Structure 1
């Protein structure tokens, strides 16, 4: 077999592979000899079928199998021998001439094919001693805990019948009948319906018109269904509702005590406060970690400058651009509405895509060199979390992960990345800084991976970032990009 490099330009490689016809014929004959002892053909005793006859009957099909196996297996072996890693699956090209293909199958012509691919650049890891990050810490007050408990307690709040007019926060019990153009519509009728004014459970404008009503009052309420209302026959339509108020009840005072804790399924108020504190700490901790992670990534971005595979960048850009256009379509806006142009937006997000791919490769290399692995138990937990998000569809989701190439890597990738970040946090300089809740939750208008223009674009970029738990990880890209770490690549 001859392996000839025909292109080496930047990260691009093209290789011509030639396997002589005599070598292909030898491999075919070895298989034919094996087949001869097993095949059963009328007129011949087992094992006595002439090789020439077996070749005439099965030669082409066996050669076709050989060609398919070579095309499937040799590329990875060739890259391994060359010490290269392909950013994506190599593109394979071979003759499309039927006459030439026929000669190959008859062992009358050499098998030739070309491999085209981009290599993963060699990344020389650098010291992270100079990386410094600030960890923002919020001191949780008793008042904040109590405030959160009161919000939780709304689900267990009791109401007491009151005389007089309904006000914001009161619960109204009523019968209603909805009509469009004077005709009742499906789902527009209910009896003894309970609605807390201000809960925003009903159509916009409905609840506000209940304010001032009292038990026994009747009223016709007019509202307009939102244009995006799920029921197409009602979307954007004006409707009336005949209302009969049966009861008005005011919310009972809520006291943070053991009785409230019991209503919420907790044995004591102390335990309730402990649980709520833990929830708040977890929420703030997630925000803090994201901010630390961004600081680390920004500094890694400044340290590592190298050419990233264009195909990975293209794939990442396509993912981002799809999200941007979806976001704009949902908001009914254009790039002009966001004070930019499509061309400028493309340039900005192309830069973002390149950054994500490059940093994804860096994180992958750091994790690989550190021997970071994702355990089966961690994978199971991640899969279980996916199943919880789609109740009733567990079977379909499991089937998807079993049958879809790369699906397991999509679970492994974010776990791997977070473990790399943990490793970096142990090596860099971390300084704690006490801040207020408002300071912690304030958005950074100059976030490192988001363009500085266009609110909708930022929102879309944020969605992509949240999905990747920060930003950098080019989903499928790195699974393909770091085959070794593709079982645990940086997402």
Structure 2
């Protein structure tokens, strides 16, 4: 067997594999005998078919399979002996006939690249800091209040009041209406509804529709023109103007719950009332802040690593990653209930750039972890799991859930490993601390 490895380019290699066909004679005889035991032929009982018929039926197939298996075996023996770092599976190309005395294969393969780690000290990254103030807690409480909003008819007195003397529809009110729309005097599909409910100011309806509803009272009717945008999702009416007539059935004002101990109890705060509720909200916001800051820093570090480290990217690994991304996209479509998602054509080319970046980062991280001994330790993995579990009602059960599945543990290990890389990178690079508000942080991608 030839062991000379030919360099075909940056990462592409070729080696020629040779072996005698006679070396496969025993394996060939055994496989044909096994196939003969189950082969069926007219006039013969199973297992009694003549060898000549078995040979005629299966001979070429067995030669093909055995020769490829032998070539693959020889290739991986060579790769192990020569300590070749393979980037993917080899492509075996037969160069001889099936019945030749000497069988020859060319094996084409890619090797992993050398990664040139850049100078981190020349890199610059931003680390955001955010303090959760009472204002942020108040805003979070306002969101929680709105999630428990309920409505009362304007003008009807009740335990929560009547909403004021003005019974006309105002921003924030819930209205229930009948409507019908016509284009050139003809009703169109989707342009009619009864007892239709929406809240003014939430942006659910087109601005012209909401503007026409403002100021109307229960029992009022109004006809107005409405121009559909050219990019409106309803293609039949996009870019056209319709005349709508609306009849208001009900105008209801929003009543938000009072922030008191009863409200805290409704949110699951069993003891401690409003003070405890605010404390728990701050803890949640602190966790969310930490997560966002870590995600932003991680993204920036990964971009820097990708730009300052040099390597050739194996085409085979990029192709594999593209296929994984295609399959992930397909599964997403299936889960969303998209018709025919299983067979929908998804071109792998659309993921080429993303796949390239992922492969490059994977190779960079792998090399950096080895060089700097940044692998996740058992203690680090345990600490990460304990931190995640602490946010749940039964932390011990969550810990058991993580440790019961190797793939979940692997996910946590990857998180810790990336944290180790970020810590090492930021210890070398120039880090600019930047204080921003929680609201500003929330708007950053």
Question: Partners in 2 of 1:138 and 1:93 — Cα distance?
Answer: 59
Question: Partners in 2 of 1:350 and 1:58 — Cα distance?
Answer: 42
Deviates more, 1:240-249 or 1:271-280: 271-280
String of CA shifts for 1:261-309, please: whole Å, max 9, x gaps. 3555654434543443344223322321123214533554576333333
Give 1:328-339 correspondences, 5 Å limit. Answer: none
Tell me the residue number matched to 1:280.
285
Question: Partners in 2 of 1:226 and 1:414 — Cα distance?
Answer: 45
- SS state at 1:205 partner: helix
Q: CA deviation at 1:81?
A: 3.4
Tell me the residue number matched to 2:64.
64
Tell me, yes or no, if structure 1 residue 157 matches structure 2 residue 149.
yes
Q: CA deviation at 1:139?
A: 0.8
Q: CA deviation at 1:243?
A: 0.9
Tell me the residue number matched to 1:365.
367
Does the 8 Å CA contact 1:153/1:264 hold for their aligned counterparts? no
Stretches of structure 1 that go unaligned for 5 or more consecutive residues are 321-348, 382-407, 444-461, 463-491
Q: CA deviation at 1:239?
A: 2.6
Question: Partners in 1 of 2:64 and 2:107 — Cα distance?
Answer: 19
- SS state at 2:28 partner: helix
Does the 8 Å CA contact 1:91/1:116 hold for their aligned counterparts? yes
Tell me the residue number matched to 1:260.
263
Q: CA deviation at 1:220?
A: 1.3
Question: Partners in 1 of 2:410 and 2:291 — Cα distance?
Answer: 18
Does the 8 Å CA contact 2:179/2:244 hold for their aligned counterparts? yes
Question: Partners in 2 of 1:317 and 1:269 — Cα distance?
Answer: 51
Tell me, yes or no, if structure 1 residue 201 matches structure 2 residue 208.
no
Tell me the residue number matched to 1:117.
109
Tell me the residue number matched to 2:93.
93
- SS state at 2:144 partner: helix
String of CA shifts for 1:190-222, please: whole Å, max 9, x gaps. 333332111111234211221222222210132
Stretches of structure 2 that go unaligned for 5 or more consecutive residues are 156-165, 326-350, 386-405
Tell me the residue number matched to 1:24.
24
1:421 maps to which of 405, 418, 423: 418
Q: What value does the CA root-mean-square deviation take over the aligned residues?
A: 4.7
Q: CA deviation at 1:147?
A: 1.1
- SS state at 1:9 partner: coil
TM-score, scaled to structure 2: 0.67
TM-score, scaled to structure 1: 0.61
- SS state at 1:244 partner: strand
String of CA shifts for 1:380-417, please: whole Å, max 9, x gaps. x9xxxxxxxxxxxxxxxxxxxxxxxxxx99x9997664
Report which of the two structures shows the higher radius of gyration computed on alpha carbons.
2
Question: Partners in 1 of 2:255 and 2:121 — Cα distance?
Answer: 58
Question: Partners in 1 of 2:316 and 2:65 — Cα distance?
Answer: 30
Give 1:200-239 correspondences, 5 Å limit. Answer: 200-239=203-242
Question: Partners in 1 of 2:54 and 2:87 — Cα distance?
Answer: 43
Q: CA deviation at 1:140?
A: 0.4
Tell me the residue number matched to 1:334.
none
Question: Partners in 1 of 2:58 and 2:412 — Cα distance?
Answer: 49
Name the CA shift for 1:367/1:221 in 2 (closer, same or farther; >3 Å): farther
Question: Partners in 2 of 1:282 and 1:111 — Cα distance?
Answer: 64
Aligned length: 378
String of CA shifts for 1:102-142, please: whole Å, max 9, x gaps. xx1xx334332222232112448899899996642211011
Question: Partners in 2 of 1:236 and 1:414 — Cα distance?
Answer: 49
Question: Partners in 1 of 2:37 and 2:216 — Cα distance?
Answer: 94
- SS state at 1:276 partner: helix
String of CA shifts for 1:220-255, please: whole Å, max 9, x gaps. 132233444444433333333211123333333553
Deviates more, 1:130-139 or 1:195-204: 130-139
Does the 8 Å CA contact 1:131/1:428 hold for their aligned counterparts? no
Name the CA shift for 1:413/1:7 in 2 (closer, same or farther; >3 Å): farther
String of CA shifts for 1:330-383, please: whole Å, max 9, x gaps. xxxxxxxxxxxxxxxxxxx99997665433211133457655599xx99xx9xx
Question: Partners in 2 of 1:373 and 1:35 — Cα distance?
Answer: 51
Deviates more, 1:41-50 or 1:179-188: 41-50
Question: Partners in 2 of 1:19 and 1:272 — Cα distance?
Answer: 76
